[in-house]
């Protein structure tokens, strides 16, 4: 029995050794193995490659030629440059110069009152009816545009403690038919006063109203100038004193 097993063992080992040798041989030369890759057959001679038949290739579609515009006729070497027509030049503007208008006489300024102070203004004089410095006052006249006297016009005095003192033109004949006078004090002194005419502007009126501007009068202590002499005249061309 033991011999049988020894024999089998020996055979087995021998078979294993053969198998190992076979693997080595196949690894070194694979072509030996019936299962290894077969070498490619060597082509002997020229391989007759079949000549391909002429295949008719459809012609490539030719694109439609693009339209090239014809060259415009040239008017010169530089090409067809069009010369623009000259634009209409506007006519020169004619400025109308008006004829100079005839300058008439300047329109006189209408005075706001029918009477005004004469151009000489207020004159200071010595009172002729009392000598010395024992009198202080004012006097004057009221005249039309021709220098004729206009009596009956109210002359109103204010200032120096006096208020709305009224006298009439014509009450002092020593200054003329329309002469008037206002007594202020029996001595000379400095003071500020006003004189204004009041009268009817039109014959249809019944009440007096301011008929001249207010005239300012400043008195001094000079005995030679103790009277302010004031003359009013008509300011309106067509004025007729009522």
Q: What global pTM score does this model have?
A: 0.56
Cβ neighbors of 92 (< 8 A, separation 6 or more) are: none
Whether the predicted pLDDT of 72 surpasses 80: no
Q: Which of 73-77, 134-138, 158-162 has the lowest mean pLDDT?
A: 73-77
Whether the predicted pLDDT of 230 surpasses 70: yes
Nearest to 210 by CA among 225, 219, 199: 199
For residue 124, tell me if it sits in a domain: yes
**What's the average model confidence in pLDDT over 165-189?**
96
- Element (H or E) spanning 19, and its range? helix 2-28
State what percent of residues in the chain have pLDDT above 90: 50
For residue 133, tell me if it sits in a domain: yes
> Pick the residue with more confidence: 209 or 84?
209
The pLDDT score that the predictor gives to residue 23 is: 65
The pLDDT score that the predictor gives to residue 27 is: 62
For residue 160, tell me if it sits in a domain: yes
Indicate the SS3 state at residue 27.
helix
Nearest to 126 by CA among 229, 201, 30: 229
For residue 7, tell me if it sits in a domain: no
For residue 142, tell me if it sits in a domain: yes
Span between the terminal Cα atoms of the chain, in Å: 194
Q: Quote the tokens at residue 106.
A: 């300047």
Q: What is the dihedral of CA 151, 236, 231, 180, to 10 degrees?
A: 20
Whether the predicted pLDDT of 128 surpasses 80: yes
For residue 122, tell me if it sits in a domain: yes
């Amino acid at each position: 029995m033991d011999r049988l097993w020894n024999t089998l063992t020996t055979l087995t080992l021998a078979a294993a050794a053969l198998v190992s040798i076979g693997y080595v041989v196949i690894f070194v030369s694979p072509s030996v193995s019936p299962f290894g890759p077969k070498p490619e057959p060597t082509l002997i001679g020229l391989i007759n490659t079949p000549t391909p038949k002429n295949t008719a290739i459809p012609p490539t579609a030719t694109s439609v030629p693009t339209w090239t515009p014809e060259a415009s006729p040239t008017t010169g070497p530089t090409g067809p440059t069009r010369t623009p027509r000259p634009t209409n030049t506007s006519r020169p503007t004619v400025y109308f110069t008006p004829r100079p208008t005839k300058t008439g006489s300047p329109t006189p300024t209408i005075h706001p009152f029918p009477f005004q102070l004469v151009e000489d203004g207020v004159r200071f004089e010595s009172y002729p009816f009392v000598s010395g410095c024992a009198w202080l006052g004012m006097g004057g006249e009221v005249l039309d545009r021709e220098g004729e006297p206009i009596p009956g016009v109210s002359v109103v005095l204010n200032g120096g403690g006096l208020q709305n003192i009224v006298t009439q033109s014509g009450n002092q004949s020593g200054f003329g038919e329309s002469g008037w006078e206002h007594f202020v004090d029996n001595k000379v002194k400095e003071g500020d006063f006003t004189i204004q005419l009041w009268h009817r502007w039109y014959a249809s009126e019944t009440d007096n109203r301011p008929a001249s501007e207010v005239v300012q009068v400043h008195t001094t202590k000079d005995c030679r100038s103790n009277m302010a002499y004031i003359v009013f005249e008509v300011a309106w061309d067509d004025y007729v004193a009522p």
